[in-house]
Structure 1
Amino acid sequence: MDLAQTEAGLILLGFLFAVLAFGVWIGLGLLCTGLVGVIVLPMLMSGMAPLPPEKVLGSSVWAALASWTLAALPLFIWMGEILFRTRLSEDMFKGLAPWVQRLPGRLMHVNVIGCGIFAAVSGSSAATAATIGKMSLPALTQRGYHQPMAIGSLAGAGTLGLLIPPSIVMIVYGVAAEVSIVRLFIAGIIPGALLMLLFSGYIAVWSMMNPQLTPPADPPMSFRDKLKASGQLIPVIGLVAFVMGSIYFGWATATEAAVFGVVGALALSAWGGTLNWGSFSASLMGAVRTSCMINLILAGAAFLTKAMAYSGIPAAMAEWVGAQGFSPFMIIAVLTVIYLVLGCFIDGISMIVLTASVVLPIIAATGFDLIWFGIFIVLVVEMAQITPPVGFNLFVLQGLTGKDMLTVARNTLPFFLLMLAAVALVTLFPAIVTFLPNTMFGA
């Protein structure tokens, strides 16, 4: 990178953080920074002709948002909003509890399995932790389970909302990196299952080492009674399995599968007696608000990306990194630290769109698979959700438990370390991510 490009990059970065420090919405902050890149940078960099800001803004925003793939985003969000307003969390605990009584740790596994199931419904980390936590934490506390372990397992498992498809963050990354959403969804299956196994395995080992902190099992139930207790939960699992199966087996695109999900969620809500005009309009407006927020961020990021690309900063940075001879593992280690630091200040979606224009050229130049990197970045963003001081899941758990942030973070630390181990595993053995998509679609 030459001196002019370095100065231009520092100007844009400094302006962006200054705007965000004043509390401006991230999407608007990105748009304003893009305007600085289009209007101010040509004045500072010799040989850089000025661009008409209105044409750059219009073309970049249209290119970013006029995508059939992106239509899956509001539909999956609406599906989650509909089911969020049903008795899903209550049915989740009652339906799963009988099946985990014989496992070491017993009902604490409901946090992990319940979050895994709800993650496939909502695609949101905070919503997953909040929905499952409202039902499981009071029930576990009432039964005498170790509260720090209950809090930690819920905070860790709540992050599965970002990894287990359909994931909102995966859709955003797929649009930003211009890679297949379907391949990303399929690539997330094994890492998601791996993370659930790590969490449940830790709970089981901890329980066997601390038997006095685990209450005795409930009275045994017959297989028929277990199925009866899970009766309300089975249709939801069936809906999720159908939606994701239609994607995996090629019956539908991600957008078409999202339509199936919305129709199925409305049908289940009507069947359960929770669908009325109030819940319908609330779910629709919730989906609209979330979708508009994400689209504003995507639009701002697209405009800023176009401004930075015109200045040559991303390409020059990728070339500079390549010239330094950094090993691929060193680059991944540095990116992990950077994303964890960013996670202390901004949410996961903003992290991805904010860094995509700079990071993706570096990743492509280093030779990493962009599908693999998508799962890697989702895992790291998940870790950021439980990183103090502003990990979103920590705020959720603080609100649910009334504990101070330091206590919640301390309870979550073992699960943070397990997620770090998962990041190391997918980095050392990338086939964990790439095996399924390469098997189904070819390398």
Structure 2
Amino acid sequence: MSSQIDSASLLSRAEELVALALKAGADSADAVVVRSRSTSVSVRLGKVEQTDASEGDDFSLRVFIGKKVASVSANPGFDLKVLAERAVAMARVSPEDPYAGLADEADLARSVIDLDLFDPTEVSSDMLREAALAMEAAALGVDGVSNSVGAGASAGMGGMVLVTSHGFSGSYMASRFSRSVGVIAGEGTRMERDHDFDSRLYFAELDTPEAIGRRAGERVVKRINPRQVPTDKDVTVVFDPRVARGFVGHIAGAINGASVARKTSFLRDRMGEQVLKAGLNITDDPLKIRGSASRPFDGEGVRGEKLTMIEDGVLKHWFLSCSAARELGLHTNGRGARGGTSVSPTSTNLALEPGTISAEDLIRQVGTGFYVTELIGQGVDMITGEYSRGATGFWIENGELTFPVSEVTIASNLKDMFMRVTPASDIDRKFGVAAPTIAIEGMTLAGR
């Protein structure tokens, strides 16, 4: 993967596209190029199943005529003039959007800061294959593992070029390396499966294939011969950090400005109020050095700053793009992300900040409860907060994980769950959403 990827030609084409849109009659415009390159290898039972290589530069153009907006996209090789004229023609017949428009000029990033997101390490298909094979071999070498779901390794990069008609021009690139493996333990109807993975911006920081494979094997073997447990309407549920990240994702969804504007968030009327247990903080930092979700500017050219979204349990901010902010009568905080031809607010490096108690002591204090390692289904209603999902994991007895549990459902309301969260200290910040082990009191467990 070469680091010598010239963005100058893409910037030049994007600048020309914006100029042609203005010439065709647009009042303002912006052009984006999303660049991607990737190579991946997957194996199963010691044999290569698939090798993929892909690359692309996807262009999109937004044009504004008054409060009318239109967007078009194309692949490289298109006629710039034709695309610009088509976009302007579409905008002329589009309905007005009172919240449409570019970012205010005063909000634009004046420079593109280096967040150390790109690792130029060249990783060949042979290296990816060897890593995948080593992961699988390590997982299959764990006593009790009976089969492989497969293993894979990938290397790639992605980035963005953005040019606006009111003076912004910038680009950035980020590398990405990943490894994953899935395995099976048990036989027939008593089979269990689990997996492990790692993903980093820098190749040298990846966990070794052997460590990933061994963890996957050990995880699945522990799940053999699960039991059901009786229904209980007052259980303390402990979320493994992998599961807790999804829980933090629900918090992010509830404080997304677009959802608030559409009135599809159960927290839409709670700004300035306590929505999490006192003492808890949710932070979001787009400028974290080597952060998995870092970006020097957002999809509208605005540099976001680190924010404490929820401070001491009190809701302080929504995630805001320009249009979501205008609709709510607020100001963008640089969380706009391009998705195709649209811009929507998103989190960046999001974290539920850790507590002071270790995960082991947290489980010990729970005494009796349910430790969740995997959730099944999509039973979360973000309008009401109702929460009901299938779960597997381990029963906690006398402060220790005892036997595996499956075929149960955990349920509550996110409003109540948010107020009953106790975080441990074991946070791992390598992913875009970070969370420690968490305990949530007072949930319903539906079992036998």
TM-score greater than 0.5 by the shorter chain? no
TM-score of the superposed pair, with normalisation by structure 2: 0.22
Structure with the bigger percentage of helix: 1
| Highest RCO, 1 vs 2 (Cα 8 Å, sep ≥ 6) | 1
